[in-house]
Structure 1
Amino acid sequence: MKIIARCHPLLDPLLPRPLPARQALPDWLRTMPSEVEAESLGGAPVRTLKHCPPFIDALALGVMIPLATDLHIADGQVSWDWDPPNIPDAPITRAPIGLHVPEQATGAPFRLSGHMVLKFTNFWTLEAPEGWDLLFTHPLNRADLPFQTLSGVVSADRFALGYVHFPALWTDPDFSGTLPAGTPVAQVIAVPRAAPELEVTTMTPPDVDTSRDIQEALQRTPGLYRKTYRA
């Protein structure tokens, strides 16, 4: 399984590269403690999210698309110092972001009052193998980012040389400063185009026994899921 990212040759020297998401884990994950005292439990020690493989696996899933250049945000205004070359043989914008008017989200349950509605420009085309789509979404579990990228799915085998840009709600109206180049703005996850079938049923008695054994073992043995059940 391979995702192919391509950029125009004139932009190649300028752009931060897409990365496997596992290489773009946030600094706060590395620095957060593994164990803390829980005041709500009388100071008893508890393990943090650093011990939760499903949480970390979501952070590390797929590919991250980085912000092309520094964005400076002050008083609700966005600016940048970036001068990419004109590209005469392709209609690619030179601006790292665009804007959406709020009316474009009429009827959607987004809280737009006082928030900017941006579109991060993606200067990379992305190709998936035949029969696979790409899910573009906000970097998973990244509530630290001052924006919320909206999710979308693209048939990236057929649209392999088209550009997919990323609408986003600016969710922190108090943010002031620089959003640096390389900040992850979208996480890309390959999904099979064929929808899975769904069967809904109840557990058999052996299922119940096995499920109970799994839950009891997880409680007894820290790290059991990672060692035994993780793919």
Structure 2
Amino acid sequence: MITARCHPKLAALLPRPTVAGDALPEWLRQMPSEVTAETLRGEVVRTLKHCPPIIDALSGGVLIPLATDVHVCGGEMAWDWDPPVLDDALITRSPVGVHVSEQASGAPFTLQTNAVVKFMNFWTLEAPKGMSLLFTHPLNREELPFRTLSGIVDCDLFRDGYVHFPALWTAPDFEGTLAKGTPVAQVFAIPRAEQSLTVADMDADAIARNREVQSALGAERGVYRKRFRHANSHG
């Protein structure tokens, strides 16, 4: 379990982090279950709404929300937000900061503005003992006009500090309001252990199992969901 904490003087102002499965994007809710595919001569096909791996990615982990409305106009950001001054805390009162583009020198990022924005996070996040937290762009959320950069923090130890979220602004023509509560990062607890990998040829049993799985997937709808997905998965 991830534990999120904020200063009590900010509790009434901040939107709360949420389990991602409780905040699925509106475009997914509105997506039809089936469509007619003109490229397949009018055959009816199922949409991504039937794809458990995509749904599980959207539903997994915890979403960290934008602290307040941020208005974007003419390449500038502004907000109407006046949180209290916290005499007993060292944290900015600004919901968005910046990184100058030179800080990404040599990185293969396409910077479409002269800076990388930084979404400020007003929640400390504690991971279970022995776990780290993976922070990344909200998965499959390409409608957002930014792309949060990924990072891993040992938040079982760094449980009393703030993790903020640098993001590339990917929609230079965007003008409008990023609404309070917009997800700016998705967080997953992951084991802090050295990863290992074994690469091997299939033996006869593995080939037979592979053939059986592929045959089942082609013969029946929902095989992955029914046979190869944990019952407590989201979706």
Tell me the TM-score range normalised by the shorter chain: over 0.9
What secondary structure is seen at the aligned counterpart in 1 of 2:92?
A: coil
1:159-178 mapped onto 2 (5 Å cutoff)? 159-178=158-177
Alignment correspondent of 1:63: 62
Alignment correspondent of 1:11: 10
What secondary structure is seen at the aligned counterpart in 2 of 1:100?
A: strand
Residue 189 of structure 1 aligns with an amino acid whose one-letter code is F
Alignment correspondent of 1:79: 78
Q: What is the rounded CA distance, in whole Å, between the counterparts of 1:104 and 1:135 in structure 2?
A: 22
Work out whether residues 112 and 169 of structure 1, in 8 Å CA contact, stay in contact via their aligned partners in 2: yes
Say what the alpha-carbon RMSD is for the aligned residues.
0.9
Cα shift readout 1:135-179 (whole Å, capped 9, x = no counterpart): 000000110100000000000000001000000011001111101
Residue 30 of structure 2 aligns with an amino acid whose one-letter code is T
Unaligned residue ranges in structure 2 (runs of 5+): 231-235
Alignment correspondent of 1:38: 37
Q: Percent identity?
A: 63
Q: What is the rounded CA distance, in whole Å, between the counterparts of 2:189 and 2:73 in structure 1?
A: 36
Residue 181 of structure 2 aligns with an amino acid whose one-letter code is G
Unaligned residue ranges in structure 1 (runs of 5+): none
What secondary structure is seen at the aligned counterpart in 2 of 1:178?
A: strand
What secondary structure is seen at the aligned counterpart in 1 of 2:171?
A: coil
Q: What is the rounded CA distance, in whole Å, between the counterparts of 1:72 and 1:18 in structure 2?
A: 21
Alignment correspondent of 2:110: 111
Work out whether residues 138 and 149 of structure 1, in 8 Å CA contact, stay in contact via their aligned partners in 2: yes
Q: What is the rounded CA distance, in whole Å, between the counterparts of 1:43 and 1:115 in structure 2?
A: 46
Work out whether residues 112 and 169 of structure 2, in 8 Å CA contact, stay in contact via their aligned partners in 1: no
CA shift, 1:122, in A, is 0.2
CA shift, 1:43, in A, is 1.0
Cα shift readout 1:78-116 (whole Å, capped 9, x = no counterpart): 000000000001111000000110000000011114364
1:121-136 mapped onto 2 (5 Å cutoff)? 121-136=120-135
Alignment correspondent of 1:96: 95
What secondary structure is seen at the aligned counterpart in 1 of 2:122?
A: coil
Q: What is the rounded CA distance, in whole Å, between the counterparts of 2:18 and 2:54 in structure 1?
A: 19
Alignment correspondent of 1:153: 152
Work out whether residues 16 and 66 of structure 1, in 8 Å CA contact, stay in contact via their aligned partners in 2: yes
Work out whether residues 115 and 169 of structure 1, in 8 Å CA contact, stay in contact via their aligned partners in 2: no
Residue 146 of structure 1 aligns with an amino acid whose one-letter code is P
What secondary structure is seen at the aligned counterpart in 1 of 2:177?
A: strand
Cα shift readout 1:8-43 (whole Å, capped 9, x = no counterpart): 111011000000010111011111011111111111
Provide the TM-score with structure 1 as the length reference: 0.98
The count of corresponding residues between Structure 1 and Structure 2 is: 230
Alignment correspondent of 2:233: none
Alignment correspondent of 1:215: 214
Alignment correspondent of 1:199: 198
Provide the TM-score with structure 2 as the length reference: 0.96
What secondary structure is seen at the aligned counterpart in 1 of 2:208?
A: helix
